[in-house]
Structure 1
Amino acid sequence: MPRKRSRLAWLIGLVALGLGVVAWAFGGAGRPRGELGLFTTLPIYWAETAGISEMLGSETQAGWVRTAVERRFELLPLDTLADEEAAIAEDLAALDHLLLAQPRPLSPYENVALDKWVRAGGRALVFADPMLTVESRFPVGDRRRPQDVVLLSPILARWGLEMRYDAAQDADERMIATDMAPLPVRMAGTLHPMREHSAAQDNCWIAYDRLFARCSIGKGQVTVIADAAVLEPATGDRLDARKDALSWLIESALSEAR
């Protein structure tokens, strides 16, 4: 029975991915933009700046990721995912879609609230990088610096996933083949179903060198990428590859509303 269920989860994941590919191919043209919550330490919505005055300066511009995402969604930055006593934060409760990109560590309340939100029908795209490779102007320990090592084990465990990291892997960027757009990765993790969490084997589809996991959680869905190199600044062909990969991930992970 477990083998049959695992095969069913694989087939369901493949069909869902195919639907996302169709949406990606049309690029979302002509559709009204939905709202997408953004919870991140990366300089996606605002450029990396030393303070408010620099942030408001005309010379400071958001990077390519915000521009690419806002073709499909209106981005709404979130400061927290939970109110007191693990209630879902009001801003998150009003949303159907969420992008977590190398977020800060979640509080116990936030872990519970995020899990509740997904199980109620929310759809989340999560970039969780075990060894962030993007450069920062701020030194290690500075609170303005992006989260170097993602700390999402508690919420991943709630969803039946475990992330592993091989420190001996090649440090160079490489491309992972997918069913649509190649995905650039560097010093990535791998995703595995937790042995003591049998539901993960039934409800999660893990693919592409274990870099990618898509799990049905209650009425909702989470897509986890064990790397964030696709969100890094780039130019030329490397930038084009990142734009294609991100567009595909957004459409396939977030194309259906709750």
Structure 2
Amino acid sequence: MIDRLAQFGVKKWLLVALVAACTVLLLLAGFATTRPADNRPKPPLAMMTSLPLVWSEGGIEADLAKDAAPHPAFKRLSAHYDITPIDDLEAWVPKPKQMLLLAQPRAFAPRELVHLDNWVRQGGHVLILADPALQWGSLYPLGDKRRPLFTSMLSPLFAYWGMELVLPLEDEVPASMRKIGGLPIRTVTPGEWLPKKSTAKGRCSILAKGLLADCRMGKGRAILVADADFLDAAFWQGRGMRILTGKDEFANIALLQALLAALHDDQGLNGDFVGK
């Protein structure tokens, strides 16, 4: 009798252990299938800019300081994208499905412009922020090469694509507030895209009263924004409690993310981005 009870006890223990193991496996399987989307790999994004987004204007010492922090726009963007800063288009080896963000980049040599155009036409996707009159604050005086570029130097590329970047003439230069795709935006001295005759194959649609242009070139696509100041945290982050609570005063960064999402998913901008 004792032997039988002992055997029964062993079998019962094994049964309980088996049930517990199955339960753990089911819970793990359920977690794996319901894990948050944030755990998915971030889409790759290459970025070239003359703005102090990746590195500060204070140099290496400032970037290595204990209280150093990335620019708020870069921090927001890096939460959704795997960002790779680049400074040479010709040496850049794009990852599969990697997009390119050019935010008021340096001037390109003619061969670099040809390289960029070829990459887009072969299926590349690029978002270009081109400001005709950048008002971004800087530690360096006017004329210093370390300052962000005052005006975009990509006019030859835009002209080839059938676009012209202009600065609307106004008596004053107030902050510009617009609503684009349902998003309230604030910036300063934004430019405007105008159509221009070109012999190159492709087509561009002008949206948001000239602030945006959506261009299809060969197998690729380029979204152009006639402004870069809207990335400056001074125009969208707000002050006081807004910073502490993480609530933005204006949706500038949401617009940037929406444009990148449209590029990534190859969605058109017509309709949602007419602008006011």
TM-score category of the 2 structures, normalised to the smaller one? 0.7 to 0.9
Deviation track 1:181-230 (CA, whole Å, cap 9, x = no partner) reads 23323111111221345855xx2111111010010111110000001122
Picking from 257, 260, 266, the partner of 1:247 is: 257
Q: Which residue of 1 aligns with 2:99?
A: 97
Is 1:60 the counterpart of 2:68? The answer is yes
Q: Which residue of 1 aligns with 2:14?
A: none
Shift of 1:245: 2.1
**What TM-score does the superposition give when structure 2 sets the normalisation length?**
0.73
Deviation track 1:82-120 (CA, whole Å, cap 9, x = no partner) reads 2xxxxxx34347663000000111111110110011111
CA distance in 1, matches of 2:255, 2:261: 10
Label 1:45 to 1:95 Cα distance change in 2 as closer, same or farther (>3 A).
farther
Which of 1 and 2 has greater Rg? 2
CA distance in 1, matches of 2:38, 2:96: 25
Q: More relative contact order in 1 or in 2 (CA 8 Å, sep 6+)? A: 1
CA distance in 1, matches of 2:132, 2:44: 28
Q: How do 1:165-184 residues align onto structure 2 when only pairs under 5 Å count?
A: 165-168=167-170, 170-184=172-186
Equivalent position SS for 2:257: helix
Q: Which residue of 2 aligns with 1:135?
A: 137
**What TM-score does the superposition give when structure 1 sets the normalisation length?**
0.78
Shift of 1:66: 1.0
Q: Which residue of 2 aligns with 1:45?
A: 54
Residues 99, 125 of structure 1: 8 Å contact kept:
yes
Q: Which amino acid aligns with 2:72?
A: W
Residues 107, 154 of structure 2: 8 Å contact kept:
yes
Q: Which residue of 2 aligns with 1:24?
A: none
Picking from 103, 111, 114, the partner of 1:112 is: 114
CA distance in 2, matches of 1:52, 1:149: 26
- Over the aligned positions, Cα root-mean-square deviation in angstroms equals 2.3
Label 1:53 to 1:94 Cα distance change in 2 as closer, same or farther (>3 A).
farther
Equivalent position SS for 1:182: strand
Deviation track 1:47-98 (CA, whole Å, cap 9, x = no partner) reads 221x32222222221111111111221111111112xxxxxx3434766300
Q: Which residue of 2 aligns with 1:221?
A: 221
Q: Which amino acid aligns with 1:136?
A: S
CA distance in 2, matches of 1:109, 1:233: 34
Residues 131, 148 of structure 1: 8 Å contact kept:
yes
What 5-or-longer segments of structure 1 have no aligned partner?
Answer: 1-27, 83-88
Residues 170, 187 of structure 1: 8 Å contact kept:
no
Picking from 133, 150, 153, the partner of 1:151 is: 153
What 5-or-longer segments of structure 2 have no aligned partner?
Answer: 1-36, 243-247, 268-276
CA distance in 1, matches of 2:210, 2:39: 34
Q: Which residue of 1 aligns with 2:44?
A: 35
**Count of matched residue pairs:** 221
Shift of 1:241: 2.1
CA distance in 1, matches of 2:79, 2:257: 9
Equivalent position SS for 2:183: coil
